[in-house]
Amino acid sequence: MPSASVNSPSIVPPAAVGFVGLGKMGNPMARNLARAGYAIVAHDVDRGALGRARDATGAEAPGSLKAMASRCGAVITMLPDGEAVRAVVLGPGGAEDCLLAGFPRGSVLIDMSSSSPLGTRALGARLAERGVAMLDAPVSGGVRKAADATLSIMVGGDAHSIARCRPILETMGRQIFLTGPLGSGHAMKALNNYVSAAGLVAAAEGVLAAQRFGLDPGNVVDILNASTGMNNSTLNKFHQFILSRAFDSGFSLELMVKDLKTALEVARSTGSPAPLAEACLEAWTEAQAALGSGLDHTAVVRHWEKLAGSELGKKHG
C-alpha cells in the first residue's frame, strides 16, 4: 500500500516539522531548519534540552507526541538509538502518547539517529501498514558540521518520500547520498563508524608506541597527516581533542560502542567476515567498562595509555 500519493508535494517552509531529540546534534540541526523558515515542533524527555531548543528555534513544544504527529507532515528523530526511536513512534509498552497515534496517512518519519538497520526495516513495515512512510537519514560530521549545516546525510527509503523531504534534508547537510531501500542509510552509517573507530585505535596504538620509542607525539601526528597513515582521527581528533587533553569532540563513547555493535550486526546478518570489527568492538567495550560512563569517545585513549603506562604528551618513566 503506498504511504503517500505520488502527487504529494515537497515539504517546504513554512511547513511544520516535528523534531524529537534535541541533544548535541539535534539542537543545531533544528536551529538550521528554523533558520530556513520551517516551524519547529519539539520534544525531548530532558527539559533542559527542550528549553535550549525552544530558545534557539522558537519551537512549539506541545508536550505530546501524538499532537506533534497530527500537526506535522514530517517528524525527525535524532535519538540515541533505534530503541528510543521505537519508543517514541510506537509508545513504550503500548503507551497511548506516541507518534503513530497521531500520524495522518501520508506523513513521513525521518530517522536521522544512528539506529540499527534491522530494527529500522521492521519499524518501517509497521508504519507502512498505517500509510506512513519512513526514511533513514543518519548523518556524519559531528557537532561542528551540524552547526554549520554541512553534514553528510545518507538516505534510505522510497524515491518519492526522499523527493518530498529533500528540502528538509538540504537545510542540514551539504552532501546527500542516496543509499537504497529503507535501512541502507543506517547500515552505511554504522559501517562508516566502524571504519572510523578502527582508524582511531590504529592511530592511538601507533602514536603511543612511537612516543615510547622516544618520538614526540605531536610530531608523529604531523608526520602521519603528511603521510599514508593519515586518517580522520589523525587529522581531526589527535591534536584537537586527544593531545590537547580536551576530550570534548561532542560524540560520546557509549554512542560509538553502540555503532560498533550495529556494524557487527550488519556483518553477521550478511555472513560477512569481520575479524577486525570483532577485535575493535572488544577493545572499545573493554575501554568503556574500565573508564566508566559519560565520557567523550576520544577519551578512549586513556584506557590504552593506562595499559601502556604512558600518557600521550608526557615522557614515560
Catalytic residue numbers, as ranges: 189
Distance CA 131, CA 4 (A): 7
Catalog residues that contact ligand NAD under the rule CB under 6 A: 20-26, 43-46, 49, 78-81, 84, 87-88, 113-114, 139-140, 142-143, 250-251, 255
Question: Of 93 and 317, which has the nearer Cβ to ligand NAD?
Answer: 93
Q: What phi, psi does 127 have (nearest 5°)?
A: -70, -40
Q: Least distance to ligand NAD from the beta carbon of 43, Å?
A: 6
How do beta strands 151-156 and 139-140 pair? antiparallel
Position 91: which residue type? Answer: G
Q: Least distance to ligand NAD from the beta carbon of 5, Å?
A: 30
Question: Partners of 74 in the beta sheet?
Answer: 17, 108
Cα atoms in the Cβ-side hemisphere of radius 13 Å centred on 296: 16
Contacts of 190 by beta carbon, 8 Å cutoff, 6+ apart: 114, 116, 117, 259, 260, 262, 263, 265, 266
Minimal CB distance residue for ligand NAD: 23
Q: Least distance to ligand NAD from the beta carbon of 7, Å?
A: 33
Question: Of 130 and 261, which has the nearer Cβ to ligand NAD?
Answer: 261
Question: Of 4 and 253, which has the nearer Cβ to ligand NAD?
Answer: 253
Q: Least distance to ligand NAD from the beta carbon of 145, Å?
A: 9
Question: Of 131 and 250, which has the nearer Cβ to ligand NAD?
Answer: 250
What single-letter DSSP state applies at residue 10? Answer: P
Contact predicate 199/225, CB 8 Å? no
